[in-house]
Amino acid sequence: MMFGRVAFMELRTGWKGLLIFGLLVVVISAGIPLIFPTYRNSLIEELEGASKVHLELPNEQGDMIILSWETVEPATSYMVLEDNRPSMVTPNIRYLGNETSIAFEKDFEEKRYYAVMAVLDQTSDPVLIGIAATEKGVDPFQELLKNPAYAGLTGGRNFSMLEVKGFVALEYYSWSWMLTGLFIAYLSVSLIASDFENKRMDVMFSAPISRRRYILEKFTAMNLIALFIVLVQIAGLIWGLASINALNEFSANAVLLSLIGSLPFLMVIAAVGITTAVLFQKVRTGMGITFAFVFAEFFLYTFGGFSKSLEWMKTISIFKYWDYFSVIIDDLFKVGDFLILTVMAIVLVITVIRVFQKKDIPT
Amino acid sequence: MEQEKVIEITNLTKMYGNHVGVKDLSLTVDKGEIMGFLGPNGAGKTTTIRSCLALLTKTAGEITIFGLDSHRDSVTIRKRTGYLPGDFGLIPSVKVRSYLKYLLSLHGSSSTKKMGSLAERLQLDLDRKTNELSKGNKLKVGIVQSLMTDEDLIIMDEPSGLDPLMQQEFYRILRQEQKQGKTIFMSSHNLAEVESICNRVAIIRKGQLIVVENIEVLQKKTGKVLEVEFNDPFKIDEFTFKGVSNIRQDNGRLILTIHENLDNVIKALSNHQILNMNLKTYSLEQLFLKYYAEGEVGEGGDA
Ligand SMILES: Nc1ncnc2c1ncn2[C@@H]1O[C@H](COP(=O)(O)OP(=O)(O)OP(=O)(O)O)[C@@H](O)[C@H]1O
Ligand SMILES: [Mg+2]
């Protein structure tokens, strides 16, 4: 009565679904880095119509800035607005006239934006030709990252979306938990709740299998599945990074460690899924509750970043203990966090075994 | 000689919330016998059986199987017990063969010999997918599953639902199992079935045990109902013998209940021209009426 038969049966009957999901994960994991070069280029020319407006910066403070733009045929005159925000909420009028090129002194330090508008006639509003800024190629996401919601996610770390690390961290890691976490939630619930719903428990427990062994086998199956998904993610991401020659910036080792860190995170979700399945014995109920758990944990984590007084929310969120930014940006794998979640998953599983042993199996 | 007891249920009570499943039920099943467990829908048969297998917790009482505590030593007990649930599902999308092999492996066995021969006798195609089976074929899988591991005790919750030919083959299989020393405990709500296969029967109703009886005694008590249609006149007196009761005439037909001395009745019948004849087993309801009428039990159940 070797341990693992039940777990093996789950893998055997579920391999098709697992394979399809695995393929999806590979495509997404490998695909995200592939987008990066295009993204980066578009970011450098980030401002609207920047190609139509040309801004030439002086080498030294106090020299002249030259701003020129393309001629617009129906224009009667042009107007240049100046502001230190691209949104031009409180602009100054820098120029009004018929020229298509102006020069003015750089007598300021901060970044300024120039919106060039074409005035068509007296009755209609001016039309935007383009916007230029005094600091080319500056990452507008830098500002976004200062937003508390993001600062909470990144732990206030400073990094650039112009680097592959920053891009992949924000565009892949920050939501891939939804893909893997919810898949694990779904599977862990249905692995047990469907045995209840499809009345397979009577036959299962007429074999000399204890309730403890049953739960442990299912948990083992979930851990193997989680490992499989994480390995697929790692392989996909490394593949993607290698295809854009970015592995020198974002090493395979960092990919590996940052994603291995999600294993105990997934284990906890699996344990919660198993718990709800045992308690409610219905796929739908269990899944609803487990999904709600994952999202609640996520919101605890983001809200916890809003202020110092809400910091405690982070501490009780499982998201705090999978700090991929730490590996990606700081090169630091937090073993303590890894162990905290592992222990939490094990404690949950032991508890649910105790509960299951005292419960009736419904007909 | 004291019979070796395989199942010993003492004062079992199982409540579902404040709903009674079974109440204060005591019952023993001896080694080597086929014990029938008879009762109408909702009587508590499944509740009793699933309590024995520790699928249900007990509210009160004791169950020992092979002298072991049904709940504490459940895993050990299940190593020696085969079980056919009243209602069960299969793992979908696998071949019956691999499903059964999987269950064998859970029992720590890899010998498929008995599985093969049972499937052959019941005409179960092992190469079909589990989700393509008809109801009867699914039941066959359940039967094979409960017998293939060759356990000492076989517990079956309503193993009826096969076609009559298959049902006969199934009974033959059970009798052979019994010859090999197996103990069989099976529930049913069909008196005829229990009469044809069981040595003893326990009758349960509304969660309470009504009576445990040897089949011969039960048969004698209940008798069989004979209905005869004649082509010529007859008199009720002709059929009044010891062991015959409830004689009456109904629409020109003779109806009587035979407990013993069937021979006398047959001889009396041979003096007549007979158009049609029908010998029926008591229905479960009539059986209950009988036991209630005899005042063997009080009305039970605050269910
Ligand atoms: N899970 C449950 N919750 C509440 N009541 C239940 C539950 N299971 C069974 N019962 C009740 O317990 C009583 C005994 O049911 P049980 O299933 O043991 O009957 P049974 O003899 O097997 O009937 P059947 O011949 O229909 O299978 C019934 O009144 C039933 O309604
Ligand atoms: Mg039943």
Q: Please, what is the average pLDDT of chain B?
A: 90
- Give chain B's length: 303
Q: Compute the CA torsion angle B152, B158, B160, B166 (nearest 10 deg).
A: -10
Compute the distance between CA of residue A239 and CA of residue A33 in angstroms, rounded to an integer.
9
- Cα-based angle B66, B8, B171 (whole degrees, multiple of 5): 80
Give the contacts of B196 (CB within 8 A, at least 6 positions apart): B171
The mean pLDDT values, 10 residues at a time, for chain B of 303 residues are 86 95 97 95 96 97 97 96 97 95 94 96 96 96 97 96 94 96 95 90 93 87 86 88 86 86 86 89 72 52 35
Q: Give the ligand with the smallest distance to the CA of B41.
A: 1
Compute the distance between CA of residue A304 and CA of residue A306 in angstroms, rounded to an integer.
6
**Is A267 within 8 Å of A226 (Cβ atoms)?**
yes
Could you say which of A133, A157, A178 is where a domain stops?
Answer: A133
What is the CA A353 to chain-centroid distance, rounded? 34
Burial class for A248, CB neighbours closer than 10 Å (0-12, 13-18, 19+)? exposed
Compute the distance between CA of residue B74 and CA of residue A356 in angstroms, rounded to an integer.
15
| A321 and A340 housed in the same domain | yes
pLDDT of residue B296: 47
| A32 and A59 housed in the same domain | no
Residue B93: count of CB within 10 angstroms of its CB: 13
The pTM assigned to this predicted structure is: 0.82
What ipTM, to 2 d.p.? 0.86
Give, using CA atoms, the residue closest to atom 22 of ligand 1. B46
| Distance (Å) from the alpha carbon of B50 to chain A's nearest alpha carbon | 8
* pLDDT tens sequence across A225-238: 999 999 999 999 99
Give the pLDDT mean for A11-17.
89
| A101 and A193 housed in the same domain | no
* pLDDT tens sequence across A51-65: 678 888 887 777 889
Mutate to test the pocket of ligand 1, among B13, B47, B88, B209 (most ligand atoms within 8 A of CB): B47
For residue A277, what are its two tokens?
């399945």
| Distance (Å) from the alpha carbon of B288 to chain A's nearest alpha carbon | 27
Compute the distance between CA of residue A265 and CA of residue A218 in angstroms, rounded to an integer.
17
A204-218, A313-327, B57-71 — which is least confidently predicted?
Answer: A313-327
Give the pLDDT mean for A281-295.
96
pLDDT of residue A166: 85
For residue A141, what are its two tokens?
């996401």
| A11 and A73 housed in the same domain | no
| Distance (Å) from the alpha carbon of B158 to chain A's nearest alpha carbon | 14
Contact B91 A210 (CB under 8 A): no
pLDDT of residue B301: 37
Give the contacts of A109 (CB within 8 A, at least 6 positions apart): A61
Please, where in chain B does CATH 3.30.70 lie? 224-281
What are the backbone angles phi and psi of residue A317, rounded to the nearest 5°?
A: -100, 135
pLDDT of residue A330: 85
| pLDDT > 70? residue A158 | no
| A107 and A213 housed in the same domain | no
Q: Please, what is the average pLDDT of chain A?
A: 88
For residue A63, what are its two tokens?
């020299």
Could you say which of A133, A163, A180 is where a domain stops?
Answer: A133
pLDDT of residue B299: 42
| A107 and A126 housed in the same domain | yes
Judged by a CB distance cut-off of 8 A, whether residue B108 touches chain A is yes
Mutate to test the pocket of ligand 1, among B9, B15, B16 (most ligand atoms within 8 A of CB): B16
Compute the distance between CA of residue A150 and CA of residue A170 in angstroms, rounded to an integer.
9
**Is B239 within 8 Å of B257 (Cβ atoms)?**
no
Least Cα distance to B128 among B144, B141, B110, B113 occurs for B141
DSSP structural state of residue A57:
-
Chain B CB contacts of A1 below 8 Å: 105-108
Give the contacts of B91 (CB within 8 A, at least 6 positions apart): A9, A13, A200, B99, B102, B130
A109-113, A127-131, A197-201 — which is least confidently predicted?
Answer: A127-131
**Is A348 within 8 Å of A275 (Cβ atoms)?**
yes
Q: b or e along A83-96 (b: 16 or more beta carbons within 10 Å of the residue's beta carbon)?
A: beebebeebeebbe
Number of separate domains in chain A: 2
pLDDT of residue B48: 98
pLDDT of residue A138: 52
Q: Output the ligand 1 site: residues, CB below 6 A.
A: A 362; B 16, 19, 21, 39, 41-47, 86, 189, 303
Judged by a CB distance cut-off of 8 A, whether residue B46 touches chain A is yes
| A113 and A194 housed in the same domain | no
How far is CA A41 from each of CA A130, A138, A328, B275, rounded to the nearest angstrom?
18, 12, 22, 101
Backbone CA torsion sign across A42, A163, A319, A343: positive
Pick from A200, A205, A361: CB nearest B89: A200
Q: Which residue of A has its CA nearest to B103?
A: A207
* pLDDT tens sequence across A33-51: 999 998 877 665 555 555 6
User: What is the extent of the structural domain holding A172?
Assistant: 5-41+143-358
Compute the distance between CA of residue A227 and CA of residue A183 in angstroms, rounded to an integer.
13
Compute the distance between CA of residue B206 and CA of residue B41 in angstroms, rounded to an integer.
9
H-type helices in B11-150, by residue range? 45-52, 74-78, 96-106, 113-121, 135-147
Q: Which fold has domain B5-214?
A: Rossmann fold (3.40.50)
Phi-psi sector, B223: left (phi>0), alpha (psi -120 to 50), beta: left
Model confidence at A136, pLDDT cuts 50, 70, 90, reads low
A16-30, A201-215, A270-284, A311-325 — which is least confidently predicted?
Answer: A311-325
- Confirm whether A138 is domain-assigned: no
- Confirm whether A363 is domain-assigned: no
The CATH number of the domain where A112 resides is what? 2.60.40.10
* pLDDT tens sequence across B40-81: 899 999 999 999 999 999 999 999 999 999 999 999 999 999
Best mutation target, B75, B101, B151, B156, to test chain A (most A CBs within 10 A): B75
Contact B79 A208 (CB under 8 A): yes
* pLDDT tens sequence across A72-110: 877 888 999 998 876 677 888 999 998 999 999 888 888
B83 three-state secondary structure: strand
| A182 and A257 housed in the same domain | yes
Residues 166-225 of A with CB under 8 A from B: 198-210
Q: Measure A207 CA to ligand 1 centroid, in angstroms.
A: 23
- Confirm whether A102 is domain-assigned: yes
Considering chain A, what percentage of its residues have pLDDT values greater than 70? 90
| A34 and A59 housed in the same domain | no
Please, where in chain B does CATH 3.40.50.300 lie? 5-214
Give, using CA atoms, the residue closest to atom 14 of ligand 1. B44
Give the pLDDT mean for A158-183.
86
Helices (H) and strands (E) in chain A, counts: 13, 7
Model confidence at A277, pLDDT cuts 50, 70, 90, reads very high
Q: Give the ligand with the smallest distance to the CA of B21.
A: 1
Atom of ligand 1 nearest to the CA of B21: 12
* pLDDT tens sequence across B154-192: 999 999 999 999 999 999 999 999 999 999 999 998 888
Best mutation target, A5, A202, A354, to test chain B (most B CBs within 10 A): A202
| A123 and A263 housed in the same domain | no
Could you say which of A133, A152, A178 is where a domain stops?
Answer: A133
- Confirm whether A232 is domain-assigned: yes
Considering chain A, what percentage of its residues have pLDDT values greater than 90? 55
A11 three-state secondary structure: helix
Judged by a CB distance cut-off of 8 A, whether residue A362 touches chain B is no
Q: Which residue of A has its CA nearest to B94?
A: A13
Contact A205 B78 (CB under 8 A): yes
- Cα-based angle A310, A316, A317 (whole degrees, multiple of 5): 95
pLDDT of residue B204: 93
pLDDT of residue B302: 36
CATH of span B224-281: 3.30.70
| A66 and A185 housed in the same domain | no
| pLDDT > 80? residue A186 | yes
What are the backbone angles phi and psi of residue A334, rounded to the nearest 5°?
A: -90, 95
Contact B91 A13 (CB under 8 A): yes
